[in-house]
Amino acid sequence: MEGSVKVRMTSRSRFGGEEDVLLFTGHGTVEKTEYGWHVCYTVKNTEGAGDELTSDLKIKKDTRRVVMVNGGERGYGMLLDLAVPTVTEIREGGRTLALNVVTKEVQVDLTGAKEGSLTLGYMLLTGMQPLSALRVTVQLKKEESVK
């Protein structure tokens, strides 16, 4: 799968025994690269205030490592690696929050001509204390060209 796509994203976060599910829809692009895949998309929350999220993912095919940048130029980056925990820093309001990231799941299915999907499961921790467990599912559908 390559080119322009429609995106449907479901984000499930679990914190303190409570689960929060957010649904997003939008558009993006999928590009096959020498290392695997480059997926960029912008989606809006389908409920509430319509919060917008921009993500840029570089997915390494052989190791299933994912470099994720959320929020564009002013956002934050995160490395999802099934082999080792990583650290990400989120800057906001003059403060920096360092979070440990433990990746639990990386599923990539982008070989179909018209549809594909990504599933990313990871935990965010402050030190060794769990902050949130997240599971993000992204469904991609090739956009038909209008002639």
Per-residue pLDDT reduced to its tens digit, 9-39: 999 998 878 899 999 999 999 999 999 999 9
Q: Where are the domains of the chain?
A: 3-139
Nearest-angstrom CA–CA distance, 2 and 110 = 8
147, pLDDT greater than 80: no
Asked if residues 122 and 104 have their Cβ atoms less than 8 Å apart, the reply is yes
For the domain bounded by 3-139, which CATH number is listed? 2.40.128.20
pLDDT tens digit string along 59-91?
999 999 999 998 876 788 999 999 999 999 888
Instruction: Identify the weakest region by mean pLDDT among 98-107, 109-118, 126-135.
Output: 126-135
Residue 141, judged by CB atoms within 10 A of its CB (0-12, 13-18, 19+), counts as middle
Asked if residues 1 and 114 have their Cβ atoms less than 8 Å apart, the reply is yes
Asked if residues 140 and 6 have their Cβ atoms less than 8 Å apart, the reply is yes
